[in-house]
């Protein structure tokens, strides 16, 4: 049975309504991916944040009355809440309250497959919980998991801070070991040309890698399907070969702890010779997505790489609209990874860029690591 969820956002005077709407739609996609049934999306416009309930007390009462008969399991806030706010709201509504970050962590927990990914998710969950170790409103604790309670970090709310810190330390040590193994692998690949596919979640990165390498990386219409890095050796033609990697997607307002925990996965981009920045051209929030990705690239120190912007999913847009977007992004290549449209042109373009970058490297330009 899907858990019923109400999504809540706050619009402050300085916020742009369109941005809030996009962000709430994204929250809905995250909730869908986590397996919730979203029954309502509410945005309250208010001049300030309420200290006790984040949104207005009146709005909370409205929600309680409206859902008096139809039981709601979860209320997800599109914001960070203080532990006290979480408790106050849970007490009023008698249902679990989650933040956007917790929902993202839950989606990560569902999709983590390898040992490294699981540990990175657990680390992020533990680090998120540590300063908030007060627990959810106790009458609501479930024993069977549920959204926000799944994954390796579940049920950790009861353990005390000391155990939590010990655990964080243990995982960090293990991750350093994994990082060392990765370093050895990287050294083996030192002479090869490395391309990293990066971009917003669900933009089609895995689909693109599958198409150009004829492989079978999991690609699906969910947020954060990919959490690990997959690398394929791709023949670009004329004897040129590149190692192309597909990795974890980015999202706006990415939780700080998540970048920190996924540092080693995200760092793959830092070791690349060039980046393929994939974005969904059909998404109305395209410009926003590009901005978020560039911001994250900066945060992980990979913003100075040669990059090719790949605007994907052109099959979803009518020609006239595409023409308009083309004018706005003159340096980009327009493709459909799914249909294989212009993916050969993309390979050629990578090959050309590769030649230029190889020349710079030979001339002794300092490595950008």
Contacts with Mg ion by CB under 5 A lie at 205-206, 225-226
Which of ligand GTP, Mg ion, none interacts with 207 (beta carbon under 5 to 8 A by kind)?
A: ligand GTP
Reading the block at residue 184, the tokens are 């050895």
Beta carbon nearer to ligand GTP, 129 or 230: 230
Q: Does 337 bind ligand GTP (CB under 6 A)?
A: yes
Q: How many CB atoms lie within 10 A of CB 115?
A: 11
126: Cβ contacts below 8 Å, ≥ 6 apart? 153, 156, 164, 167, 168, 171
Beta carbon nearer to Mg ion, 249 or 257: 249
Burial class (CB in 10 A: 0-12, 13-18, 19+), 76: buried
Q: Does 85 bind ligand GTP (CB under 6 A)?
A: no
Reading the block at residue 211, the tokens are 């198409």
Taking 3-state DSSP, the helix, strand and coil percentages for the chain, each rounded to the nearest 5, stand at 45, 20, 35
Beta carbon nearer to ligand GTP, 82 or 264: 264
Radius of gyration over alpha carbons of the chain, in Å? 22
Contacting residue, 85, 203, 213, 230, with ligand GTP by CB under 6 A? 203
The answer to whether residues 313 and 281 touch, using CB atoms and an 8 Å cutoff, is yes
CA distance 218 to 66: 40
The answer to whether residues 193 and 354 touch, using CB atoms and an 8 Å cutoff, is yes
Q: Does 336 bind ligand GTP (CB under 6 A)?
A: yes
Nearest residue by C-beta to ligand GTP? Answer: 249
Beta carbon nearer to ligand GTP, 101 or 201: 201
Contacting residue, 315, 324, 365, 369, with ligand GTP by CB under 6 A? 315
Name beta bridge partners: 36: 3
- Site pattern 182..201 for ligand GTP (x: CB under 6 A): -------------------x
Stretch near ligand GTP under the rule CB under 6 A, chosen from 44-52, 79-87, 292-300, 310-318? 310-318
Reading the block at residue 276, the tokens are 């393929």
CA distance 152 to 129: 13
Beta carbon nearer to ligand GTP, 10 or 337: 337
Q: Does 230 bind ligand GTP (CB under 6 A)?
A: no
Q: Does 204 bind ligand GTP (CB under 6 A)?
A: yes
Residue that has been written with the tokens 């657990």 in this structure:
122
Which of ligand GTP, Mg ion, none interacts with 140 (beta carbon under 5 to 8 A by kind)?
A: none
CA distance 77 to 97: 7
CA distance 201 to 224: 6
Q: Is 179 left (phi over 0), alpha (psi -120 to 50) or beta?
A: alpha
Beta carbon nearer to Mg ion, 91 or 113: 113
Q: How far is the CB of 173 from ligand GTP (least distance, A)?
A: 28
Which of Mg ion, ligand GTP, none interacts with 322 (beta carbon under 5 to 8 A by kind)?
A: none
Name beta bridge partners: 234: 242
Which of Mg ion, ligand GTP, none interacts with 231 (beta carbon under 5 to 8 A by kind)?
A: none
Q: Does 33 bind ligand GTP (CB under 6 A)?
A: no
The answer to whether residues 109 and 153 touch, using CB atoms and an 8 Å cutoff, is yes
Q: How far is the CB of 340 from ligand GTP (least distance, A)?
A: 9
Q: Does 150 bind ligand GTP (CB under 6 A)?
A: no
CA distance 81 to 78: 9
Q: Which of residues 236-265 bind ligand GTP (CB under 6 A)?
A: 249
Beta carbon nearer to ligand GTP, 137 or 224: 224
What would you measure as the largest C-alpha separation in the chain, in angstroms?
72
Q: Does 205 bind ligand GTP (CB under 6 A)?
A: yes
Beta carbon nearer to ligand GTP, 15 or 22: 22
Q: How far is the CB of 311 from Mg ion (least distance, A)?
A: 17
Q: Does 216 bind ligand GTP (CB under 6 A)?
A: no
Residue ranges that bind ligand GTP, judged by CB under 6 A: 201-207, 219-226, 249, 312-313, 315-316, 336-338
């Amino acid at each position: 049975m899907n858990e019923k969820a109400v999504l809540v956002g706050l619009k402050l005077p300085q916020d742009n309504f369109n941005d809030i709407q996009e962000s709430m739609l994204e929250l809905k996609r995250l909730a869908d991916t986590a397996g919730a049934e979203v029954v309502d999306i509410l945005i309250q416009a208010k001049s300030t944040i309420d200290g006790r309930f984040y949104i207005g007390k009146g709005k909370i009462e409205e929600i309680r009355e409206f859902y008096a008969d139809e039981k709601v399991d979860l209320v997800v806030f599109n914001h960070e809440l203080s532990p006290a706010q979480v408790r106050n709201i849970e007490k009023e509504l008698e249902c679990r309250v989650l933040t956007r970050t917790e929902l993202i962590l839950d989606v990560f927990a569902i999709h983590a497959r390898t040992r490294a990914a699981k540990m990175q998710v657990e680390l992020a969950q533990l680090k998120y919980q540590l300063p908030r170790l007060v627990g959810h409103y106790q009458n609501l604790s479930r024993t069977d998991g549920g959204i926000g309670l799944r994954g390796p970090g579940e049920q950790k709310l009861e353990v005390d801070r000391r155990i939590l810190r010990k655990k964080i330390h243990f995982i960090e040590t293990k991750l350093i070991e994994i990082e060392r193994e990765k370093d050895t692998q990287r050294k083996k690949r030192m002479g090869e040309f490395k391309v990293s596919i990066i971009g917003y979640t669900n933009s089609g990165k895995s689909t693109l890698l599958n198409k150009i390498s004829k492989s079978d990386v999991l690609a699906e219409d969910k947020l954060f399907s990919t959490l690990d890095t997959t690398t394929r050796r791709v023949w670009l033609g004329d004897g040129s070969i590149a190692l192309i990697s597909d990795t974890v997607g980015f999202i706006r307002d990415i939780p700080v702890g998540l970048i920190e925990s996924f540092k080693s996965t995200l760092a793959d981009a830092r070791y690349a010779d060039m980046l393929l920045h994939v974005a969904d051209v059909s998404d109305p929030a395209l410009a926003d997505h590009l901005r978020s990705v560039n911001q994250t690239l900066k945060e992980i120190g990979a913003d100075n790489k040669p990059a090719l912007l790949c605007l994907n999913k052109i099959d979803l847009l009518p020609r006239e609209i595409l023409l308009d977007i083309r004018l706005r992004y003159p340096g980009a290549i327009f493709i459909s990874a799914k249909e294989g449209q212009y993916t050969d042109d993309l390979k050629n373009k990578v090959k050309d860029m590769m030649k230029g970058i190889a020349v710079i490297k030979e001339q002794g330009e300092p490595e950008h690591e």
